[in-house]
Amino acid sequence: MADHTFHVHRYDPEADDEPEFESYDVPVSDSTSVLDGLFHIQESLGKNLSFRFSCRQGVCGSCCMEINGQARLACQTPVTDLDAKQIRVRPMYNLPIIKDLVVDMEPFFEQYRRVRPYLAPDDLPVPASRLIGKIIGLLAARVPPLDLLEGTARAGGSTQQPPSRTALRSPGRR
Ligand code: FES
């Protein structure tokens, strides 16, 4: 296993005046994802690092972060695909930062509630979770707010689909 250096955005609003990047050496194999690297920092190096994840399969979108300057899903980004020994990880640029790599999703959910990007029959509950991943993908792709509104509206109402989250994936992922 070769060591890579992760430069990770650290910020605790209760303790820090400014965010800063801290560097950690992380052992990496061909199958190590960026999310695995963050787990290593948290568990093996004993760092109190905050980040979001859920499915670890590229479905939920909760591990979206900026990795070496691009919005990516950390669980679907093999470190070796980045072709760099220095890995810079920071939270998504377009949402307020709560702590470390965790962003406040409320602006996203506010847009989601406003747009209602789904068909809503009067007598059926709406499976809202089905479209959340697509909207996160649009946010991650840096779609301007007006395009986002149009894109999410299209997602529920026409045959023209917004950009798929698969566009964010690198080739050769697990
Ligand atoms: S943890 Fe769900 S997409 Fe990465």
Cα 36 to ligand 1 centre (Å): 12
Other beta carbons less than 10 A from residue 116's beta carbon: 13
Helix (H) or strand (E) holding 129: helix 129-140
pLDDT of residue 142: 64
Ligand 1 in reach of 135 Cβ (< 6 A): no
Q: Does residue 62 share a domain with residue 144?
A: no
Ligand 1 in reach of 56 Cβ (< 6 A): yes
pLDDT of residue 47: 85
The tens digit of pLDDT for each residue in 86-115 reads 999 999 999 999 999 999 999 999 998 999
Q: Domain of residue 110: give its range.
A: 106-165
Q: Does residue 43 share a domain with residue 113?
A: no
**CA 137 to CA 71: how far, in whole Å?**
9
Please report, for the domain that includes residue 13, its CATH number.
Answer: 3.10.20.30
pLDDT of residue 118: 81
Q: Does residue 154 share a domain with residue 115?
A: yes
Ligand 1 in reach of 143 Cβ (< 6 A): no
Q: Does residue 43 share a domain with residue 99?
A: yes
| Residue 174 within any structural domain of the chain | no
Q: Does residue 76 share a domain with residue 27?
A: yes
Which one of 103, 135, 155 terminates a domain? 103
| Residue 143 within any structural domain of the chain | yes
pLDDT of residue 36: 97
Q: Does residue 115 share a domain with residue 93?
A: no
Q: Does residue 119 share a domain with residue 93?
A: no
Q: Does residue 48 share a domain with residue 133?
A: no
| Residue 170 within any structural domain of the chain | no
Number of helical (H) and strand (E) elements in the chain, helices listed first: 4, 7
**Pick from 139, 26, 5, 3: nearest CA to 72:** 139
Tokens of 61: 């979108």
3-state SS, residue 87: strand
| Residue 172 within any structural domain of the chain | no
Q: Does residue 120 share a domain with residue 59?
A: no
Q: Does residue 73 share a domain with residue 114?
A: no
Place of tokens 């560097």: 23
Cα 122 to ligand 1 centre (Å): 32
| Residue 171 within any structural domain of the chain | no
Ligand 1 in reach of 75 Cβ (< 6 A): yes
Long-range contacts of 147-151 (CB under 8 A, 24+ apart): 148/111, 149/111, 149/114, 149/115
Place of tokens 């946010």: 139
Q: Does residue 84 share a domain with residue 9?
A: yes
| Residue 173 within any structural domain of the chain | no
CB 111 within 8 A of CB 148: yes
Ligand 1 in reach of 136 Cβ (< 6 A): no
The tens digit of pLDDT for each residue in 115-145 reads 988 877 776 555 666 667 767 777 776 655 5
Tally of structural domains, the chain:
2
Ligand 1 in reach of 77 Cβ (< 6 A): no
Q: Does residue 137 share a domain with residue 92?
A: no
